[in-house]
Structure 1
Amino acid sequence: MKLRLISLGLLLFLCGSSLSLAGDPEKGYHVIVDKPLISPYWDQETFDNTWRVWPKDLKELAEKASPEERKRMAYDRYGLTPRPDNPNKPLQYVVGDDGLWTPNCFTCHGGEVAGQVIPGAPNHRYAMQTLADDIRYAKMLMGKRLLKSDYGSAVVPLGGTNGTTNAVMFGVILMAFRDADLNVHSSADFMPTKHHDMDAPAWWNFAAKDYIYCDAFAPKGVKGLMQFALARENGPEKFRGWQEDFENVYAYLESIKAPKYPYEVDKSLAEQGRIAFEKTCARCHGKYGPEEKYPSIVVDIEELGTDPVRYEALSPADRKLYGDSWFNEYNQGAKTVDDPAGYVAPHLAGVWASPPYFHNGSVPTLWHVLNPSERPTVWHRTSGQLDQQRVGLTVKEFARMPPEVTRRDERRNYFDTRNYGKSAAGHDYPDELTPEEKRAVLEYLKTL
């Protein structure tokens, strides 16, 4: 097996990761939910009228519903949830007293786990493309002015399957219009983009990492957290003025803990699973418990065998452009890995609570991760309940996309592993285990 071990040590400490010690986690949470960092995308009136452009059957139900019921239907359609500390507002957007909606980090990183809203959990229901389309159509119906975000979402794909986003390409495009000091320029120079869908990682593993992203190319630091605020109205002075805010955000991310499995666990079976896991899986994913150690192993892409589109989409030049910028201290401290070997074996704390699996979200349950030959070709999430037997999303499986599913918004509820960037192949290592060991490992993974 070709493996690459990433180690930072003192270098990362000196370049800024210790800034979390000066931050306030509670303030960091409120920076995310209360402080708009880019221009708003729409107003409350527009959101309240999205139902008018819904498909006929859903629109008829909404027309008869109360305003509160329509709000619940809209949240369900778009994968939004109430803020735990303020149920009158969505967790995923900053909604000001003026009624203006601005996306925040929880759009992708704030979801539900076993029916409970948990900030930091991957939002596996977020319908980014459907929401953007409905907002655009609602604005046109109401005679409202379209914004750059409305035109942009019609050109750049936002997410082909609900719960995934084209976030990596957002970053590539935004950075292409900046110099190293983050000044905006008009002569973008970037290779043709490879649009693809990604599954958001769980934030509760942030503290265990030295490098971030699924290819572990970027050193973890305060400034790098700001990069998705690269709207053209934000110049270098704004980013530098946000330093204290993002020290608090960094501290908040470091403070998040993995949720505990809320159901019964067979402790004897889980102990058998720990032994099998440490024999086979720990060499890449690390050990857990009192002697926990996460090695940040990057596995060669050919050895791993999972979908390579994300790996290929971010070029060495793209990684270097980010690394040489203010976001990464101009590469004067911990340097970016411009040509990584493949994907990093993720930290597995709370893995039961972060379905679907793989970097592209192609595998719906941990049972399917452990049984590669049983992974479905097409699957559809059927409820918000956790599948306690297979540990993950409750889904219905198909050999192909059902022919009766024709609307684009409806098709986004289905994950088709035959599509570009969506393969569920690879990571066949669990086949080194016996069926009994797989069952035991599945039980053990509930305890992490």
Structure 2
Amino acid sequence: MIRTPNVLVVAPVALALSACAGEVTERASAGGTTPTPAPAATEYPLLGGPRGGNVWVKFCEGRGDDAALPRDPRELLVPGVNQGRAVAFNAHWRSCDNAVPRPTTCGELRAQAALGGLVAHGNGAVGSPVSFAGGQDVPGGLPAADYNDLWRVWGLPGRPDNFDELVAQRHGSPLSRARNPYPLPGEDPNATDGGSGQLPLAYTQIRRPDGRWTGEIGTKVCVFCHNGQIDTADGRLGPLLGGAGSIGDFAVAGSDFAKANSSGGTPADATQLITISTNRGTGAIDFFQLAFVLFSGGNPQLLLNDKIVASQAIGNIKSPPWWNLAYRAQKFHGAVLPTDSSRIDLAAYYDLARSLSGDDAGALAWMDAHAGPFQTWAETLAPPPYPGPIDTQLAEAGAILFHAKDLWAPGLDNPAPRPDAGNGSCASCHGAYSPRYIHDPAFLETPELGGLAAYTVPMSVIRTDPVYAEAMQSMRNRDGSMPAATMGQNVLYCGIGRAGETENLTPILLAPPLWGIWAAAPYLHNGALPNIWGVLDPARERPKIWRRVSTPARPDQQGLVVMGYDTSFERAYDTAKLGWKYEELACGDPGTGAYTACDPMDQSRPSTAQYALGLLYENIGLLWNLPRLEGLRMNQQDIENRKVFNTYLYSQGNQGHDFTAVLTDAERRALIEYLKTL
């Protein structure tokens, strides 16, 4: 819903117009300079645009299966594209030789998206994969009887009547809106069509190829990273598979499953062997140093690169939303792989047991049959529309500022170095979204490039926490080349992205597309900032230690159960700052790690112990990934502590993106209002 306020917001609009050299130009004449309106660009509106989603989906609306698909706009992202214009692109498209080629007709698009959706959702359907087992057709999950007894692991006196909801809250994965069954105590799943229970998005009951239910609960680890939830009073929104909600906690889920399993071992135990996540919602998700070994039958040569053995671990990141995949030329925060390199998308379903036993071809067969369709499905996703009111005039002012305000203009004294290309605006790195600027040849050489973001920024400019970007460079040899063993492994069949091409091993980050950015809190690549205002205001809205608000427990269960993050838009979302509400904590509060992470005597700095740990993590490969005490113990207080984001910890810094310091509060409000429209 977009509303126009009764009171005109004149000041921000005038402010934005004065900052926009593309809106009004001056031409010299014999009598001096005369203001001249900019040509034709003003015929297009400031607000609107495709709002994400695959251009092929829009094309196929109302067309038959035999309709040939148009060109993918990302194919235009080649060296030299848009050179000298306001929007910069340097992360280029590469077509890959996937086992299932990209669709060429509307029918192929629909068929691939349907298969990819099955892989993503599961919901107990035949053929739904489970973590690190691919499409195996034998039981391999947690027996339903043990799943039903999770309340014993939690220390409750009996099975609560809201058991399914409590699993979803504790593990951070919303209950699926579609039927996703498991058998309740005493139920035969094959006599009850799977059972009467309802599983969260991250789980699926495993079925035989003939349709028989196994009563085994399988985990879909990738969903823990990519599921989100935004609840509105009118029910328009809800679970968001493919989003960037950062609500999941697969470490807690893995611990619960391991403790509940009466047979002594489940696939979930693997999450306890290494530290992938120290916080709820974020973690070492792009853990390529180890992953590239696992995806090659355990080839030890991949660990002989001295920069991996003696380098920092991957550290903490948050997952980018799948709904922006169709607007990216390269994947991951660091432009690590081409977007068309689809095999990596199903890394969490790689059949490790089969691969390590010598049948690597068999392990890859299922991935190759499903990876392309899964990517096609992910590229059809569109972000959710902002559910609150939008001030149209303020948003229009924000659109002008976003696309045309030069943050390095004379007199602003920007503290950060200027990027090498673009006009110095937000759009120069993140892409053009407003129809007015999409159709302005000073911004894009063709409107087809609208909404695409494909620009990498060196860490010397972005200046955010460097651990992740530097870890991406640890995969390269010291001369900048990639180790032969690495390039020959299974996931890099289409080569590496711009992260492997920078001069002098320069660490970089990829500026993401911003469709649906309002729904993607927290922010920065590591999730260190709770809201967009903090991204735009580096001096005042960057808490050192903070905790997002939790869902209120039922009165009779307060203090007895672990609740997840509050996902109510009306109750827990900050519409002015664009992000989830949070509580700022002081060093010494529960979960903050006084003296091990922060110094209670000087709360402006990490503790001496944290400095020392940082040096160890940075110089001894994989040390950061050794199990932590709380990862093995995982009591209720440990789980609550995982909701605390402590920026003093290694790889969790909230610095950088400080070129926005030159904005005024009026400009920040206008930009935030505009971002609600994307």
User: TM-score category by the smaller chain?
Assistant: 0.7 to 0.9
**Which of 380, 384, 388 is the aligned partner of 1:255?**
380
Task: Indicate the residue corresponding to 2:57 in structure 1.
Answer: none
Q: Distance in 1 between matches of 2:388 and 2:323?
A: 20
User: Do structure 1's residue 158 and structure 2's residue 276 form an aligned pair?
Assistant: yes
Residue of structure 2 in register with 1:232 after alignment: 353
Q: Which amino acid aligns with 2:353?
A: R
Offset of residue 330 of structure 1 = 5.3
SS across alignment from 1:441: helix
**Greater C-alpha Rg:** 2
1:338 matched to 2:513: no
* 1:197 aligns to 2:316 (yes or no): yes
Larger displacement relative to structure 2 (262-271 or 319-328): 319-328
Following superposition of structure 1 onto structure 2, how do residues 238-249 of structure 1 map, counting pairs within 5 Å? 238-249=363-374
After TM superposition, give the deviation of residue 372 of structure 1 in Å.
Answer: 1.1
The match for 1:372 is 538
Comparing 404-413 with 211-220, which one deviates more in the overlay? 404-413
Matches within 5 A, 1:95-106: 95-96=205-206, 97-104=213-220, 105-106=222-223
1:382-436 C-alpha deviation (Å, 9 max, x unpaired): 1323221211112111233514778321210111111111111110122121111
| Mapped pair 1:173 → 2:290 | yes
CA distance in 1, matches of 2:368, 2:575: 42
Taking a change above 3 Å as real, the CA distance of residues 5 and 217 of structure 1, as seen in their structure-2 partners, is farther
Code of the residue aligned with 1:167 in structure 2: it is: I
Give 1:46 shift: 2.5
Partner of 1:108: 225
- Where 2:162 maps in the other structure, the secondary structure is helix
Residue in 2 aligned with 1:121? 243
What is the match of residue 358 of structure 1?
Answer: 524
Q: Structure 1 residues 187 and 202, CA, compared in 2 at 3 Å: closer, same or farther?
A: same
| Cα displacement (A) at 1:82 | 1.6
Maintained 8 Å contact 2:113/2:380: yes
Relative to structure 1, is the Cα distance of residues 295 and 29 closer, same or farther in structure 2, using a 3 angstrom cutoff? closer
The aligned runs of 1:257-406 (5 Å cut-off) are 257-278=382-403, 279=405, 280-290=425-435, 291=438, 292-314=450-472, 315-317=474-476, 323-329=487-493, 331=495, 337-340=499-502, 341-373=507-539, 374-382=541-549, 383-385=566-568, 386-400=573-587, 402-403=589-590
Whichever residue aligns with residue 389 of structure 2, its letter is E
Unaligned runs of 5+ in 2: 1-86, 123-127, 134-139, 181-197, 207-212, 233-237, 406-424, 439-449, 550-565, 594-636
1:49 equivalent in alignment to 2:149: yes
Looking at secondary structure, tell me which structure has more helix per residue. Answer: 1
Encode CA deviations 1:149-195: one digit per residue, 9 max, x unaligned.
Answer: 41x433311311101122222x42132245xxx44446662534615
Q: Does 1:214 align with 2:302?
A: no
Cα distance in 1, alignment partners of residues 431 and 88 from structure 2: 14
Q: Distance in 2 between matches of 1:275 and 1:363?
A: 25
> Which shows bigger deviation, 153-162 or 399-408?
399-408
Contact 2:302 2:486 in 1 (8 A): no
Distance 1:42 1:79 in 2: 18
Change (3 A) 1:252 1:372: same
1:302 is displaced (CA, Å) by: 1.9
Match for residue 647 of structure 2? 417
Shift of 1:381: 1.3
1:253 is paired with a residue of what secondary structure?
helix
Q: Residues 141-152 of structure 1 correspond to what in structure 2 (within 5 A)?
A: 142=262, 144-147=263-266, 149-150=268-269, 152=270
**Inter-CA distance 396–211: structure 2 relative to 1 (3 Å threshold):** same
Checking the alignment, whether the CA contact within 8 Å between 2:227 and 2:242 is kept in structure 1 is yes
Alpha-carbon distance between aligned partners in 2 of 1:404 and 1:218, rounded to the nearest angstrom:
36
Give the deviation of 1:322 after TM superposition: 5.3
Where 2:276 maps in the other structure, the secondary structure is coil
Query: How many angstroms does 1:232 deviate by?
Result: 3.3
Partner SS, residue 303 of structure 2: coil
- Alpha-carbon deviations, 1:286-313, whole Å to 9, x = none? 1103322434111111221101111122
What amino acid maps onto 1:284 in structure 2?
A: C
Q: Distance in 2 between matches of 1:413 and 1:72?
A: 19
Matched to 1:125, the amino acid is I
- Aligned Cα RMSD in Å? 2.7
Distance 1:212 1:357 in 2: 17
Question: Does the 8 A contact of 2:334 with 2:509 survive in 1?
Answer: yes
1:209-252, CA deviations, whole angstroms, 9 ceiling, x for partnerless residues?
A: 11101011211122232333342324223323443322221110
Structure 1 residue 106, shift from structure 2 partner: 1.6
Structure 1: gaps (5+ residues): none
Give the structure with the larger strand fraction.
1
Matched, 1:94 2:204: yes
Q: Which amino acid aligns with 1:376?
A: P
Classify 1:335/1:133 alpha carbon distance in 2 versus 1 (closer, same or farther; 3 Å).
closer
Tell me, yes or no, if the aligned pair for 1:215 and 1:344 is still in contact at 8 Å: yes
Amino acid at match of 1:245: H
CA distance in 2, matches of 1:399, 1:348: 32
Q: How far apart, in 1, do the equivalents of 2:216 and 2:148 lie?
A: 12
SS of the residue aligned with 1:90? coil
Shift in alpha-carbon separation, 1:212–1:356, aligned structure 2, 3 A: same
1:262 CA drift (Å): 0.8
Give the paired residue count.
427
Q: Secondary structure at the match of 2:661?
A: helix
